[in-house]
Amino acid sequence: MSTETYGKKLPQAAKPSGFKGMVLAYLMRSVHRGEYRAVAEALRLVSDDRFLEIGCGSGFFLWKYASGTAASAGLDHSADMVAMAGRRNRRRVQSGTTELRQGDASSLPWQDGSFTAAAAVATFMFWPQPQDALKEIHRVLLPGGRLVISLGWNADDGLDHAGHVEKYGIRIYSGAELQAMLERAGFSRVSITRTKAFMSPGLMVCTAIR
């Protein structure tokens, strides 16, 4: 992801950096706790999974929910977040079971079929090239691999997100739009559930199979 989205410099919420970014990342750990839990329940990670998180931020989800997998990896476009995630997951990184990369979701630095599961928690709405990114995730998943995407704000939650779009440069998707995008990328068995989380009265959790 570039430093510009829709002609505007990315806000901290989209690309946390510096001291303010680190503070925000710590706050988001609490704000998104319910969303993390909902995604983890949808993923159902097991010990032989090889898991990829797109937009890993501070690495909290990797540490909390993927530390028991055979291997895990995280991608973020913020160098500061990659460094922060590395500190939180230091033992796994040092043992070679967790890999962290700075990069773009639309051009993943892994080979075909590298993972059995992937997730994007509270980040999809920021992606400037979401269709290309979904194709890339499809590429790096093994056949039968699963992808979980959460959208705390979405077009089906009954809220007016015009202010959020303007402030954060995000895109608001409906469940139907996300399903269509996933199917165009080659995914099948798309299912969408809705629940409630902090600041997300209509949290959408979408699961798809490669």
Query: What digits encode the pLDDT tens for the residues 26-45?
Result: 567 667 788 999 999 999 99
pTM tops 0.75: yes
Using the predicted structure, report yes or no on whether residue 122 has a pLDDT greater than 80: yes
pLDDT at 9 over 80: no
Return the HEC string of 8-41.
EECCCCCCCCHHHHHHHHHHHHHHCHHHHHHHHH
Q: Other CB atoms closer than 10 Å to residue 20's CB: what's the count? A: 10
User: Is residue 195 over pLDDT 50?
Assistant: yes
Closest CA to 50 of 3, 119, 2: 119
Please report which confidence band the pLDDT of residue 12 belongs to, taking 50, 70 and 90 as the band edges.
Answer: very low
- Reference 35, options 192, 196, 178; nearest CA is 196
**Long-range contacts of 6-11, Cβ-Cβ distance < 8 Å, separation of 24 or more:** 6/128, 6/169, 8/169, 10/126, 10/169, 11/167, 11/168, 11/169
Check if the beta carbon of residue 204 is closer than 8 Å to that of residue 39.
no
Q: Is the pLDDT of residue 13 over 60?
A: no
Structural domains in the chain plus CATH codes: 4-209 (3.40.50.150)
